[in-house]
Structure 1
Amino acid sequence: MNWDVIRKVIGGILLVSFSVIGFLKPVQQYLSIPHNITMFEGQEYTLPLSKPVSTEMANKTNSMTVHNNDHVTTIKGTKHGQEEIIFELAGFPIKKVNVEVLKDFKVIPGGQSIGVKLNSLGVLVVGHHLVEGEHGKISPGETAGIKVGDIITEINGKKIENMSEVASFVQDAGTSGKVLQIGIQRNQKKISTEVSPVKDQKDETYKLGLYIRDSAAGIGTMTFYEPKTKKYGALGHVISDMDTKKPIIVKDGQIVRSTVTSIEKGINGNPGEKLAKFSTDREIIGNIQRNSPFGIFGTLETTLKNGILDKPIPIALSHEVKKGKAKILTVVDGDEVEEYEIEIVSTIPQKFPAVKGMVIKITDPKLLEKTGGIVQGMSGSPIIQDGKLIGAVTHVFVNDPTSGYGVHIEWMLNEAGIDIYEKVDQAG
C-alpha cells in the first residue's frame, strides 16, 4: 500500500471538507436573517455577517439605504415604505427579506400617579341578599334569574345609568303592585326578565334583594400620551370589579391627579400596595373611553409632565426589546416621578397582541427598600430601554414581589387607537 497516496487523498478530503464548512457557516447565518424586518424612519438595523455579502433592492422605493461594509450589512430607513432586499453570496441569491419602514413616531412617557373613576355601562350586580317580606325571606332578583356579574341596562324600556334610577323604579313598582321588566347584559348576550319588588318589613321600603354598583375607583400609573392627539394609555391591564372579578364594561370615566401617601411593602405571598388620594381639586385631566386587557385608554384634556422625560421619545417594537438593563418611571412618594433601574429577564417578539410579553425584575436598591419590588398601583409604569419606550409594568409575582410581567408598548398603542402601521400606497 502506498502511504504517500493515502495521505494525499486524506489531505484532499480534509481540504474540501474545511472549504465546505467555511461556506456553510455564512449560508446558515444568512438563512437565520428574519424574513420580515420592521423599522422606523431614521432607524438602523445592523446584521453582522461572517463573510461579505452583496444586496439588491427589488422595488426601488427609496424607502431605505443598504450598506455592505466588510462583514456588516446596515439597513437604514429613510422614508415610509416597503422594500424587498435580495441577499447574494458569491453571486448566488440566498435570502429574500421584506423590510417595512414605518413613519417616525414618538410619544411622551408618563410615570405619574393617577386616580381612576369608571362608570359602568348600566348598573352592575355584585351580590344577592334576602329581603324580610310578608311571606318570609326572599331575594326577588335572584329568584328572577339575575346573576352576580349581570349588568342592568334597562328597566321598563328606559335606559339605566345609575343606582338612583333603579331605586326610583323599584319604589314606584312596589307601591303600584306592578312587575318590573328588566333588561340585562350578561357577557355578550342580552337577556330579559321580570321582577316583583318585595316590601321589607323592617324599613317599609321595596327591594329587589340585589347589591348593585354603578362606578368604581382606584389608582394607577400613566404610561404614555401622544402629543398631537393627546391619546393616552395607562395601567397596562384591565380593571375588574372587586366583587365579581369580571372586567368592568365602561360607559365612560375620568382620570385625575393623585398623590401617593404611603407604601405597604410587598413580601412573599403578599403583594404590596401604593396608598394614594385623589387631588384635592379633583381636576379632570382626561376621559376614559376604553377598559381593555391592555389598560385604560382615552384622551387627555391637558398636558402632563413627569420632570424627567418631558419630550417625545421613540418606541421599540416587541422584536427590538432585549434582555438586560432598563428603567421604569413611577411615583412612590407624593407626586414626584422618579427613575429606577430594572432588568428585562425575558422578552417574547410577539406577532399578535398579548398581555404578558416581558418578565422584569426590580434591581434598584432604593425602590426595593421602599416597596419590596412591584406593588399594586405601580401598574402602567413606563419601561424605558436605550432611550425608547418599550412597554409598561403590569403584574407582580405573588411569591416574588421583586419580579413580574410587562406588556409591550405596541399593543397598548393599538388599544389607544394609534396606528403605527399606517400603510403606504406604493403606486403613489
Structure 2
Amino acid sequence: MSFLFFFMEVLLMFAWYQKNRKKTAIAYGIVYVIACYFMLLSYIPKEVVLQKASDKISLAAPIRVQEAHTEETVQTERGSDAKGIQKTYTCKLFGLIPIATMSGTVVGDQSVDAVGRPVGIYLQTQGIYVAGLKEIQTVSGEKVSPCAYILQEGDYITGRDGKELSDKEDLQEAVEASKGQAMVLSVVRHGEEMEVKVQPQETEDGSYKLGIWVKDDVAGVGTLTYVKEDGSFGALGHGISATSGSQALSMKEGYLYETSITGITPSSIGSPGEISGLIHYGSAARLGEITRNSNVGIYGKMNGTAKTAYAGNSYAVAYKQEIKREGATILFGEGDAVEAYQIMIDQIDYEPKEKNKSFVFHVTDEKLIDQMGGIVQGMSGSPIIQEGRIIGAVTHVFINDPTKGYGIFIEEML
C-alpha cells in the first residue's frame, strides 16, 4: 500500500512539473545564479596585505581586480614597516560586473628567518585552569559532584575567600584546610571576574575534595616557525589549549627550551602520530620567553645566543593572494638536519572560520610518508615555502588521512 501511495505522489509531482515547467526552470535558474555568486565570493578575500602600493592583485578567473581608492593617512597595526596606506579595490566578474569590494594595506617588504626545528614549550596559566568536573565518593558512600552547575570547564580560579591562589597546590591545601566548610572562590570566566560559593566534601580516605580536574601549567614539543632580525619569534600556528579546538590558555608566563627528539610515532589512518622529545629545562637551555599565546600561535623573544643558533635562511613573505594551488615544501628537522619535504597546496580559503585552517595541502614526498606516515603531531609550526618565499606554517593533520593537513597564512603570524 505504501508503494502505491509513493507511486501516486511521483505521478502527481510529474504532472505538476509538466504544467509548471517554465516556473520551475526559472526557480532553478535563480537558485543556480545565487549559488554561483556565493561561490565566487569564496574566491575573494575581504582584506589583503601588500608589500608595495603598486602591487597588482590577481585572483582566480573570471574575477578581475581594479583599484578604486587610495588613502595615505590610515594607520595600520601590521609590523613596524607599515606605510600607513590603505587601498580599496573593486572585484568585477569578467572585468565588467562589480560583485564585491576588497581593502588592501601596504606594509612594505617583510622577511623572516624560517626555522622548522622542534623546541620544548613550557607555559604557566594565569590562574588555575578548570579542565573538567568529576564525581567523587563521600565518606558516607554517596557519589556527588560538588561543583556541578557552579564551576565550568574553562574557568580560571584565582583566589579563595579574598586570598590569592598561586598554583594548584595552594588550592589543594585550601580545600583540605576547609574541613568541609563552604569556600568563596574568585573565578575568571570568559574574561569576566566573579565569585562562587563551593563546599568541599569529605571522601572515603578522609581528605576533602571539590571534584574538579585542574592544571596550572602545560609542556610539550612544537616547531619554531620563524625568527625575525630583532629576535622576536613565532611558533605553532595555533594556540596552546587544554583540549583540541578550545580557546588558547590564558598565560602567566612561558618559555622555549632546547629539546632532543627521542622518537617519532608514525601516523596512520585514524591515528595521528607524534614526536616525542626530551625537554632540557634550566636557564642554560632556555631559548627565549613566550609573551603571547593566541589562537594563531605563540610569540615572544629569543635570547641573543639562541637567536643566532636557531636562525635559518631568510625568506621574503608572500601574502595569501599570492599563494598558488601548486607545489610547495615543508621545512622540518632537528639541528642542522632540517629538510625540505614536498607538498601540494590543494585548497585556499581566504576567509576561514578558523584562521589556523586557511589552506589544505597533501604530502607528495615519499620520504616523509615512509618515515612518518605524513604529518605528525609536533610538526605544527613547520614553515611552508613556495617559490622561494614563506607562505605559512603547518597547523593540523587530518585524522582520516595523515598525508593531508591544514596550514595558516604567514601574515596571520606576523
TM-score (norm: length of structure 1): 0.69
Indicate yes or no: 2:132 matched with 1:132.
Answer: no
1:368-420 CA-to-partner distances (Å, cap 9, x unmatched) read 1111111100111001112211100011111211111111011111xxxxxxx
Task: Say which of 213, 216, 219 aligns to 1:217.
Answer: 219
Q: Distance in 2 between matches of 1:378 and 1:235?
A: 8
Match of 2:326 in 1: 324
Q: Distance in 1 between matches of 2:386 and 2:252?
A: 35
Highest Rg: 1 or 2? 1
RMSD: 3.9
Q: What's the offset of the Cα at 1:164?
A: 1.4
Match of 1:396 in 2: 397
Q: Distance in 2 between matches of 1:58 and 1:143?
A: 56
Q: Give the AA of the match of 1:102.
A: V
- Contact between 2:239 and 2:247, CA under 8 Å: does it hold in 1? no
Q: What's the offset of the Cα at 1:273?
A: 1.2
1:182-235 CA-to-partner distances (Å, cap 9, x unmatched) read 122233443322223333342x3333233321111111111112222x222111
Call closer, same or farther: CA 1:310–1:56 in 2, change over 3 Å. closer
- Contact between 2:237 and 2:381, CA under 8 Å: does it hold in 1? yes
Indicate yes or no: 2:184 matched with 1:181.
Answer: yes
- Consecutive unaligned residues in structure 2, runs of 5 or more: 1-43, 59-65, 73-82, 90-96
Q: Give the AA of the match of 2:312.
A: D
Task: Say which of 143, 149, 155 aligns to 1:150.
Answer: 155
Q: Distance in 2 between matches of 1:37 and 1:195?
A: 50
> How many pairs does the alignment contain?
346
Match of 1:104 in 2: 109
- Consecutive unaligned residues in structure 1, runs of 5 or more: 1-32, 48-54, 62-78, 86-93, 414-428
Q: State the SS of the aligned residue for 2:268.
A: coil
Q: How does 1:313-392 map to 2 (within 5 A)?
A: 313-331=315-333, 336-350=337-351, 354-392=355-393
Q: Distance in 2 between matches of 1:97 and 1:140?
A: 52
Q: What's the offset of the Cα at 1:335?
A: 7.2
- Contact between 2:147 and 2:198, CA under 8 Å: does it hold in 1? no
- Contact between 1:129 and 1:211, CA under 8 Å: does it hold in 2? no
Q: What's the offset of the Cα at 1:58?
A: 9.8
Indicate yes or no: 2:172 matched with 1:172.
Answer: no
Q: State the SS of the aligned residue for 2:146.
A: helix
Match of 2:203 in 1: 200
Match of 2:35 in 1: none
Match of 1:113 in 2: 118
Q: State the SS of the aligned residue for 1:375.
A: coil
Call closer, same or farther: CA 1:313–1:201 in 2, change over 3 Å. same
Q: Distance in 2 between matches of 1:112 and 1:411?
A: 20
Q: Give the AA of the match of 1:187.
A: H
1:66-120 CA-to-partner distances (Å, cap 9, x unmatched) read xxxxxxxxxxxxx8857899xxxxxxxx999998643222211121101111211
- Contact between 1:41 and 1:80, CA under 8 Å: does it hold in 2? no
- Contact between 2:315 and 2:388, CA under 8 Å: does it hold in 1? yes
Q: State the SS of the aligned residue for 2:142.
A: strand
- Contact between 2:53 and 2:106, CA under 8 Å: does it hold in 1? no
Indicate yes or no: 2:272 matched with 1:266.
Answer: no
Q: State the SS of the aligned residue for 1:112.
A: strand
Q: Give the AA of the match of 2:259.
A: S
Call closer, same or farther: CA 1:247–1:81 in 2, change over 3 Å. closer
Q: Distance in 1 between matches of 2:190 and 2:102?
A: 44
Q: Distance in 2 between matches of 1:378 and 1:212?
A: 27
Q: Distance in 2 between matches of 1:150 and 1:320?
A: 41
Q: What's the offset of the Cα at 1:351?
A: 9.6
- Contact between 1:256 and 1:285, CA under 8 Å: does it hold in 2? yes
Q: Give the AA of the match of 2:249.
A: I
- Contact between 2:67 and 2:87, CA under 8 Å: does it hold in 1? no
Call closer, same or farther: CA 1:271–1:36 in 2, change over 3 Å. closer
Q: State the SS of the aligned residue for 2:177.
A: helix
